[in-house]
Structure 1
Amino acid sequence: MQEIRCGSCGRKLGEGIFQILSIKCPRCGTINSLRALSPTPERPGASDSMKANDATRSPSHTPPRRERL
């Protein structure tokens, strides 16, 4: 569980698991709006596989340039 504190005065407002939360601090009256971080991808690194292949290519694998006539 994640500890939730006021962004202005630091008072502990609660603990929990949340996606989106808006809570008013009873001490200072600040409205604290919190949002959970983006979830991790279902298959970590799946979208990075193409980038990794491009980075490991050496210049010898590039097609030869054609001369214009």
Structure 2
Amino acid sequence: MQKNELEEIRCCRCGKLLAKGRAEVMEFKCPRCGAFTLVRAKHPSAHLPVSQGSATHAL
């Protein structure tokens, strides 16, 4: 995997970059605004971010 192939995972509320890469299932807590972002893979080559708050952010 090359650096330019990594997907950005951003906060669902404020858009802060939380991580780069691919994940099957991961949860992040944003250090800036405190929102939780849950990332789940639909299938091994793609993932869909799902917010646990009121804001949503699509990659």
The answer to whether TM tops 0.5 is yes
Misfit runs of 4+, over 6 Å: none
Structural RMSD (CA): 1.5
Output the CA distance in 1 between the equivalents of 2:8 and 2:18.
8
Question: Residue 8 of structure 1 is aligned with which of 6, 13, 18?
Answer: 13
2:43 aligned counterpart, secondary structure: coil
User: Of Structure 1 and Structure 2, which has the larger fraction of its residues in helix?
Assistant: 1
Match runs of 1:29-44 below 5 Å? 29-39=34-44
User: Of Structure 1 and Structure 2, which has the larger fraction of its residues in strand?
Assistant: 2
* Bigger Cα Rg: 1
Q: Does 1:24 align with 2:29?
A: yes
- Relative contact order higher in (CA < 8 Å, ≥ 6 apart): 2
Equivalences, count: 40
TM-score normalised by L of structure 1: 0.52
Query: 1:34 is aligned with what amino acid?
Result: V
Q: Unaligned stretches of 5+ in structure 1?
A: 41-69
Tell me the percent identity.
43
The alpha-carbon deviation at position 39 of structure 1 amounts to: 4.1
